[in-house]
Amino acid sequence: MILVLLHVVMVLACALHILLRRHRQPESRMAWLTVLVALPYVGVLGYLLLGTTNIGHKRIARLHDTRKTLPLPRCAQGWDASENAIDDSQPYETLFRVGQSISGYVPVGGNRAELMADSDTTIARMVEDIDGARSTVHLLFYIWLNDTNGMRVADALCRAAVRGVECRALVDDIGSRSFIRSDTWRQLADAGVQLRKALPVGNPLVRMVNGRIDLRNHRKIVVIDNRVTFCGSQNCADPAFAPKARYGPWVDAVMRFEGPVVRQNQHLFAMDWMGNGGDNIAALLAEPLPPPQAGFAAQVVATGPTGRNAAMPEMFTSLMFAARHDLFVTTPY
């Protein structure tokens, strides 16, 4: 009788959590409830391990504290906001509001961008910009490999650090685990590059209790001298992608941006860097922006396990509903 009662209490408690948890998509609730009814014990265990976007209470608190410490990038001294401001007459102003509600970044005008032709071109431009860096180079990658392109970037980073540029590199502890264990990682440190691991796993058994291991930092961001940023789908690796060669070559989309939106990517990097134990780089966000130039409106939209659920699907569906003439959708999978 006691076992039956415990069974009922366990299943009901899990079902209530599924039903009452905020910001959960209806189809997600239904899927978990179906698993729970069909396979109660497996369903409860699966929900405890995978059903919540929890990376650990201490990590979440540290990231929230970091967000409070860092001022959102706004108008800076020497930048005339009136020439780059986005007003309510813009045709996609509603979409910018959705983006701002997700990560707090306002849309800014006066940006220029270049779509990289292919993976090797992307790495070549990154290396060129790193070699021309004068003050800071910041890199954040989910996967960094010890292959040709990975080594080209590592060598450029070492050269920059040796000549006195402040270099910081943040990589995911699982996505880049082989790189972290390599001689190249130690060579970067010896050259003076500051290195951090995002969401370090540590003891897997303890990690499972404190939060999900499978929630990773998948961002791919490069910010150089507070004036240039690269972002897109490409990791720091060859397009052949040796660990999964049978799926290669991988075709990625990467943009190179200049303009006020660079400061938003710098802010995003700073949150992840400082939230994972890196030094305080808030002063970079207060540096004056360069003089305004002609360009288009842009905005960084950043999601993750500490943000609201379904944020990016909301952004995607809003974009689709706003389309009037053309709609192009690409996916890497």
Q: Which residues pair with 256 in a beta bridge?
A: 114, 230
- pLDDT single digits (tens) 47-63: 766 677 776 667 777 77
Q: Residue 250 — very low, low, confident or very high, per pLDDT cuts 50/70/90?
A: confident
- Check residue 198 and give its pLDDT: 94
Q: What per-residue confidence (pLDDT) applies to 89?
A: 53
How many CA atoms lie within 13 Å of 186's alpha carbon, on the beta-carbon side?
3
Query: Residue ranges of the domains in the chain?
Result: 2-50, 58-322
User: 76: pLDDT confidence band, cut at 50, 70 and 90?
Assistant: very low
State pLDDT tens for residues 118-143. Answer: 999 999 999 999 999 999 999 999 99
Quote the pLDDT of residue 80: 41
Q: What pLDDT, on a 0 to 100 scale, did the predictor assign at position 81? A: 43
Instruction: Compute the average pLDDT of residues 139-165.
Output: 97
What average pLDDT does the segment 23-42 reach? 76
In percent, how much of the chain has pLDDT > 70?
A: 85
Tens of pLDDT, residues 179-208: 999 999 999 999 999 999 998 887 766 666
Choose from 1-5, 75-79, 300-304 the range with maximum mean pLDDT.
300-304
Query: What integer pLDDT is reported at residue 136 of this predicted model?
Result: 98
Predicted confidence at residue 73, as pLDDT, reads 78
- Tell me which of 3.30.870.10, 3.40.50.150, 3.40.190.290, 3.30.565.10 is the CATH number of domain 58-322: 3.30.870.10
pLDDT digits (tens, 9 = 90+) for 257-309: 999 999 999 999 999 999 999 999 999 998 988 888 889 999 999 988 877 87
Average pLDDT of the chain, as a whole number: 85
End-to-end CA distance of the chain: 49
Query: Where is average pLDDT lowest: 27-36, 205-214, 244-253, 309-318?
Result: 205-214
Q: What is the mean pLDDT of residues 68-84?
A: 57
- The set of residues, in sequence order, having a beta carbon less than 8 Å from that of 219 and lying 6+ positions away, is 140, 141, 142, 231, 268, 272, 302
Percent of the chain with pLDDT over 90: 53
Cα torsion angle, 56, 58, 59, 61, sign: positive
Residue 6, pLDDT score:
64
Task: Give the residue-averaged pLDDT of 21-31.
Answer: 75
SS (HEC) of the chain: CHHHHHHHHHHHHHHHHHHHCCCCCHHHHHHHHHHHHHCHHHHHHHHHHHCCCCCCHHHHHHHHHHHHHCCCCCCCCCCCHHHCCCCCCCCCHHHHHHHHHHHCCCCEEEEEEEECCCHHHHHHHHHHHHHCCCCEEEEEECCECCCHHHHHHHHHHHHHHHCCCEEEEEEECCCCHHHHCCHHHHHHHHHCCEEEEECCCCCHHHHHHHCCCCCCCCCCEEEECCCEEEEECCCECCCCCHHHHHHCCCCCCEEEEECCHHHHHHHHHHHHHHHCCCCCCHHHHHCCCCCCCCCEEECCCCCCCCCCCCHHHHHHHHHHHHCCCCCCCCCCC
Strand pairing report for 221-224 and 136-141: antiparallel
pLDDT, average across residues 309-330: 90
In this structure, of 165-179, 239-253, 274-288, the range with the lowest mean pLDDT score is: 239-253
